[in-house]
Amino acid sequence: MPRKTISPATLANHEKHGTASAVSLPETGFVRLSTILQVIPIGRSTWWSWVKSGKAPAGTKIGTNTTVWSAAAIRDLLARLQTGEA
């Protein structure tokens, strides 16, 4: 079964119609995957596929089962997705 990725148009549509969560990213610091997936409406496996392919930034392991991402890197990714560069 082919993998689905979200297009920039779909992301914009989610934001326009309020189907994307009203979660805001902090200006600085780190965020966990659960927060990212509330902002970018994709599945966990798609996110990890993006990380593996380089489309999404690599995270930082802070524990055995815990990975976090820089809020600034996620903001950059969102900007690239909205402009269609990602």
Q: What's the pLDDT score for residue 15?
A: 58
Question: Tell me: the pLDDT tens digits for 49-59?
Answer: 999 999 999 99
Question: Tell me: the pLDDT tens digits for 19-45?
Answer: 444 568 888 999 999 999 999 999 999
Angle separating helix axes 71-83 and 8-16, nearest 10 degrees:
100
Residue 29 DSSP code: S
Token readout for 83 is: 């402009």
Q: What's the pLDDT score for residue 85?
A: 80
Residue predicted with more confidence, 10 or 74: 74
Q: What's the pLDDT score for residue 54?
A: 96
Q: What's the pLDDT score for residue 18?
A: 54
CA distance 34 to 49: 16
Residue 70 pairs with which residues in a beta bridge?
30
